[in-house]
């Protein structure tokens, strides 16, 4: 990035080498001693003299290399590349059975999903709830703040339901009826409740471009105890088959007690998703991990940008090593 530094550094290092290794005058420093030829001919002197010369050259070489590395670092060697980042994401729908028998499961799910949403980057998230009928609360969006606010409201609703229990008295002033109507307005129907297949199918067809864009990665997080009351338009097996046909994976998490559990589990797993019990250790962690393992889809390419990678760490370490070698040798030679 700064090539001019090398134009200065290389001549400086050459000059230093010439100044250091040029022939010097004899007896430049120290005291003169006569008649040393006898000592100079001994093997001990020759060995010490060779070691001295080697260490001197090694010390000077190490400091010159350190100076050279310093100039290279100042020149900022960098890797420059043009990249076109690909944008990948998933479309995720949370589909919740809001019948009272699943309140505790949904309460746990809201708490765990808020942490999942906070980690999302590029995925779109939506929420549907169902009982006798299905209601789209949040269409697919990457407005995570809105999603988190909706999960907070749902969490308050389920806490309100659990605190109220089965005794719904319209004269009870302790009941927050706004929260009650938030999940039951539009989901109650005369035809029945907990219409599992209808709820799953409604979530499936809440995905936009379901028929025209098969390349998107789609999945549904499904919460229910599979306790059906009434005659749904679509059975659970039919809804699962529709999900499989449209390549939408269903990841279901269920409470301890599940009606026709084997049938429910087989239907969910037939979509390529997974089945989890909230009573199992780390069930939610496993659910999130399995979702992350699913293949995400390419939805676009960002504008080409130039990326400069500048990493001087290795050069800095080598410079410190050279300087360390120089000082160790100087101490040994008592410079």
Domains of the chain: 4-19+38-79+310-333 (no CATH), 86-301 (3.40.50.410)
Instruction: Output the pLDDT for position 171.
Output: 43
CB atoms within 10 A of CB 218: 22
* Polymer length in residues for the chain: 335
d(CA 255, CA 109): 11
Instruction: Output the pLDDT for position 335.
Output: 62
Instruction: Judge whether 87 and 122 are in contact, CB under 8 Å.
Output: yes
Instruction: Output the pLDDT for position 84.
Output: 56
CA end-to-end distance (rounded Å), the chain? 38
pLDDT tens-place values along the chain, 335 residues long: 788 888 888 888 788 777 765 555 565 666 777 777 788 888 888 888 888 888 888 888 888 888 888 888 888 888 777 765 555 578 899 999 988 888 888 888 888 888 778 776 667 899 999 988 899 999 998 888 899 999 999 999 888 888 876 555 554 555 577 888 888 888 887 777 778 999 999 999 999 888 777 777 899 999 998 888 888 899 999 999 999 999 999 999 888 888 899 999 999 999 999 999 888 888 888 888 887 777 665 445 556 667 777 778 888 888 899 888 888 888 888 76
CB atoms within 10 A of CB 30: 6
Instruction: Output the pLDDT for position 168.
Output: 52
Instruction: Output the pLDDT for position 268.
Output: 93
Which runs of E-coded beta strand occur in the chain?
79-83, 86-89, 91-97, 124-130, 134-141, 192-193, 218-223, 229-230, 248-254, 274-277, 297-301, 305-309
Instruction: Judge whether 40 and 33 are in contact, CB under 8 Å.
Output: no
d(CA 163, CA 264): 29
Q: How is residue 300 written in tokens?
A: 């676009």
pTM of the model: 0.61
Instruction: Judge whether 248 and 330 are in contact, CB under 8 Å.
Output: no
Region of 226 on the Ramachandran plot (φ > 0 left; ψ -120 to 50 alpha; else beta)? left
Any idea of the CA torsion for 244, 248, 254, 260, to the nearest 10 degrees? -10
Instruction: Output the pLDDT for position 21.
Output: 57
d(CA 238, CA 114): 30
CA distances from 65 to 205, 210, 268, 327 (A): 68, 64, 66, 14
Instruction: Judge whether 65 and 286 are in contact, CB under 8 Å.
Output: no
Using DSSP's 3-state secondary structure scheme, residue 51 falls into helix
Residue 55 host element (H or E): helix 43-75
Instruction: Output the pLDDT for position 304.
Output: 64
Instruction: Output the pLDDT for position 46.
Output: 86
Instruction: Output the pLDDT for position 245.
Output: 92
d(CA 73, CA 34): 49
Instruction: Judge whether 222 and 287 are in contact, CB under 8 Å.
Output: no
Instruction: Output the pLDDT for position 264.
Output: 93
């Amino acid at each position: 990035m700064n090539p001019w530094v090398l134009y200065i550094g290389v001549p400086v290092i050459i000059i230093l080498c010439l100044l250091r290794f040029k022939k010097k005058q004899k007896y430049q420093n120290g005291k003169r001693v006569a008649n040393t030829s006898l000592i100079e001919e001994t093997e001990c002197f020759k060995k010490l003299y060779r070691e001295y010369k080697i260490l001197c050259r090694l010390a000077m070489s190490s400091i010159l290399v350190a100076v050279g590395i310093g100039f290279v670092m100042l020149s900022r060697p960098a890797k420059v590349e043009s990249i076109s980042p690909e944008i990948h994401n998933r479309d995720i729908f949370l589909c919740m059975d809001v019948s009272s028998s699943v309140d505790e499961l949904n309460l746990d799910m809201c708490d765990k999903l808020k942490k999942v949403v906070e980690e999302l980057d590029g995925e779109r998230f939506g929420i549907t709830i169902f009982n006798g009928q299905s209601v789209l609360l949040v269409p697919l969006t990457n407005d995570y703040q809105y999603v988190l606010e909706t999960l907070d409201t749902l969490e308050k609703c389920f806490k309100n339901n659990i605190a109220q229990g089965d005794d719904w008295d319209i004269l009870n002033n302790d009941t927050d009826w706004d929260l009650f109507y938030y999940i039951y307005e539009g989901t109650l129907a005369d035809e029945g409740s907990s219409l599992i297949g209808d709820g799953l199918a409604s979530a499936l067809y809440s995905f936009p471009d379901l028929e025209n864009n098969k390349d998107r990665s789609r999945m549904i997080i499904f919460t229910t105890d599979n306790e059906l009351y009434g005659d749904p338009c679509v059975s659970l097996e039919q809804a699962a088959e529709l999900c499989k046909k449209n390549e939408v994976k269903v990841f279901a998490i269920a409470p301890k007690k599940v009606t026709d559990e084997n049938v429910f589990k087989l239907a969910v797993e037939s979509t390529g998703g997974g089945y989890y019990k909230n009573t199992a250790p780390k069930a939610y962690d496993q659910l999130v991990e399995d979702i992350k393992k699913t293949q995400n889809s390419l939805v676009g390419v960002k504008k080409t940008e130039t990326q400069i990678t500048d990493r001087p760490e290795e050069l800095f370490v080598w410079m410190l090593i050279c300087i360390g070698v120089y000082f160790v040798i100087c101490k040994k030679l008592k410079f």
